[in-house]
Amino acid sequence: MLRSLKTTTLAGVAALLMTGTALANPYADYEGTTLIVNFPAHPHYDAVMRILPEFTKETGIEVEVDQLPYLKMRERQTLELAQDEGEYDLIAYVVFSKADYVYADQLENLAKYFMNPRLADPNYDADDLIDGYVYNIGFAGGSKGYLEGKTGSLFGIPYGSETSVLGYRKDIFEKHGLEVPETYDQLLELACKIPELEPGMGGVASRAASGHHASHAFLLHLAPLGGRVFDDQWNPIVNNEEGVKAAEALKTIVDCGPEGSKSFGFGEALGAFLNGDTAMFLDTTVVAGQIDDPSKSQVVGKVGWALHPMGARRGSQTGGFGIGIPANAENKEAAFLLMQWLTSKQGDKLVALAGGNPSRFSTHADAEVNEKFPHMATFGEALEHADPDWRPIIPVWGKINADLGTTLSKVLTEDLDIQEGLDGVAERTRGVMDEAGYYTWN
């Protein structure tokens, strides 16, 4: 009580002082506020850290960042968001957290902020945000419950949009006269041909470590090969023909991958590519910055980029993060201002130039950004094929994901039969879904 009285008087005094000098400044009421935000340890958010001082300079709002690895970040948020009053004013969340948070009523619906003329910037241009990501990360309540649609509404804004692209070693491909793979058949053939051509070098570096990594790598192949985890009635179909094909693709890639592939997490897989131990890398766009950083990479300037190869269809992953305002935050309005600033055209471009992943079409087409990062145009094209439904975003997904990841790891390391393994996953998934009530209406 006392504290809030004090802050309002202070703000009042500040406002009085401002009226004489400044023109209308939408940030004036919030000057001196300190926002506490929770961001992941991730290259995009490292770039955000570089541009935050700019925000403070422009608005007078201080930002204190709590950076955590994203799985830890999720644990922390689970706890913070459940309390009556939370510590965080703005959070970045992983796509699959959206279901949990929205379902538990822990994220603010953004409508009332965009309706407020004092807060919403008329030049924001929301149509410029990449559609697939807004649907994937921002919306909930529409089709399947977790996507956009007539019943949906907005809970967050994508920030740090990644998709999958194929990075390849231009020098190796030139040396042996190889074609950049366009389809999955070509990709798999090349993956196993490279270790023969270049002894000691792997074909494709992929994540494969037990749990989330293996599951992620599998889903990466599942969408383009035409598969899905569930059909429209929520029946698990991960064990159908396409599912088996995706798992076979993963196994082929890992078997022909660099040494130690079977235990690679994302970091190790990327490390292998940076070290020159592998000719291709099929994963997220965030790595581009590190590949061009001579203090981390030995392949600077040798890497070319291509779209995620096509199987039955084009379908690259939609990953990355969104930012939203917790329902129990203290400074919601100031948090909205930060959110709006970060995702505005100006903020998006700044973060792109600092090495982040832009979320707007205009930034991908921007001349200055493309000059600094020539791969940006390819990435922009890849984003158009991004598949918002490559992975289900439902509250029980965490459990299914863990089971899938563990089973696939057994397929890779213990030679578990693929069909048998996936049948097991499907059966257990059905149980989980049944318990969660997905078959109530059948």
Partner 1 sequence: MSIARANRLTPYFFMAPAVVIMAIALLYPLGYMVWGSFKDWDPSQSIGEAEFVGLKNYVTLWNDPNFWESASVTLRFAFFVVSFEMVLGVGLALLLDRNIRGMSVLRTMFILPMMIAPVVVGLMWRYMYHPTVGTFNRTLDSLGIPGVDWLGQHALTSVIIADIWQWTPFIFILALAALQSLPRSALEAARIDGATAWQQIWYIKLPLMMPVLIVTGLLRLIDAFKVLEVILVMTEGGPGLSTEILALRISRTATEFRELGVAAALSNYLLLMLLAFTLGMFGFTRWQEARAAKIRTADEEDA
Partner 2 sequence: MSQAYEKQNPAFYALLAALVFMSVGPVLLMFTNSFKLDVDITSGTSGLLFFPTIQNYETALCDILWYEPKHLEFCSLKFGGAFINSLIIALISTFLTLVIGCMAAYGLVRFRFMGRDTVSLTTLMVRMVPPAVLLVPVFGLWNNEFCLDRDGLVGGAIRDTFGGRGDVCLAGTHAGIILVYVAMNLPFVIWILQSFIIQVPRSLEEAARVDGAGPFQVFFKVVLPLIKPGLAAAAIFTFRIAWNEYLLASALSDRNTRTVPILIVNNMSEFNVEWGVIMATGMLLAIPPIIFTLFASRQIITGMTAGAVKG
Binding site for partner 2 (CB under 8 A): 2-3, 36, 41-43, 46, 49-50, 65-69, 72, 76, 79, 83-87, 265-268, 270-271, 275, 286, 290, 295-296, 298, 330
Q: Which of 374, 363, 368 is nearest to 305 (CA)?
A: 374
**Interacting residues of 405 by C-beta distance below 8 A, sequence separation 6+:** 210, 211, 212, 213, 214, 215, 216
Question: Choosing among partner 2, partner 1, none, which partner's interface includes residue 409 (Cβ < 5 to 8 Å by kind)?
Answer: partner 1
**Rg of the chain taking only CA atoms, in angstroms:** 23
Rounded to 10 deg, the angle between the 184-197 and 241-255 helix axes is: 20
129, interface contact from partner 2, partner 1, none, CB < 5-8 Å by kind: none
Least CB distance to partner 2 at residue 287 (A): 8
Say whether residue 298 binds partner 1 (CB under 8 A).
no
Beta carbon nearer to partner 2, 67 or 370: 67
**Longest Cα pair distance anywhere in the chain, in angstroms?**
76
- Choose the contact partner of 69 out of partner 1, partner 2, none; CB within 5 to 8 A by kind: partner 2
**Within 222-261, which residues bind partner 1 (CB under 8 A)?**
258-261
Nearest approach in angstroms of CB 50 to partner 2 is 5
Q: Which is nearer to partner 1, 12 or 69 (CB)?
A: 69
Considering the complex, state which of residue 170 and residue 410 has its C-beta at the smaller distance from partner 1: 410
Separation of alpha carbons 274 and 293, rounded Å = 10
Please name the residues in contact with 279: beta carbons below 8 A apart, sequence gap of 6 or more.
Answer: 168, 169, 172, 173, 194, 198, 201, 202, 203, 204
**Residue of the chain from 50, 193, 251, 262 that contacts partner 1 (CB under 8 A):** 262
Residue 94 within binding range of partner 1, rule CB under 8 A: no
Contact 322, 232 (CB under 8 A): no
The three-class DSSP label of residue 401 is: helix
Please list, in sequence order, all residues whose beta carbon lies within 8 angstroms of the beta carbon of residue 7, skipping any fewer than 6 positions away: none
Question: 10 Å Cβ neighbour count for 415?
Answer: 9
Using CA atoms, how far residue 182 sits from 117, 179, 306, in Å, is: 48, 9, 8
Contact flag: residue 268 with partner 1 (CB under 8 A): yes
Least distance CB 82 / partner 1 (angstroms): 4
CA distance readout (Å), 15 to 1, 8, 28, 58, 341: 21, 10, 7, 16, 21
Instruction: Report the partner that residue 43 touches, choosing among partner 1, partner 2, none (CB closer than 5 to 8 A by kind).
Output: partner 2
The token pair at 245 is: 């094909």
- Cβ 313 to partner 2, closest distance in Å? 29
Partner whose binding site includes residue 415, from partner 1, partner 2, none (CB under 5 to 8 Å by kind): none
Nearer Cβ to partner 1, position 35 or 425?
A: 425
Is there binding between residue 345 and partner 1 (CB under 8 A)?
A: no
Given the complex with partner 1, which of 219 and 386 has the nearer CB atom?
Answer: 219
CA distances from 342 to 51, 221, 324 (A): 9, 32, 12
Give least dist CB 260 to partner 1, A.
2
Interface with partner 1 includes 402 (CB under 8 A)? yes
* Residue 84 contact partner, candidates partner 1, partner 2, none, CB within 5 to 8 A by sort of partner: partner 2
Give me the residues that bind partner 1 (CB under 8 A), please: 71, 75, 78-79, 81-82, 104, 208-211, 258-263, 268, 271-272, 275, 277, 398-399, 402, 406, 409-410, 412-414
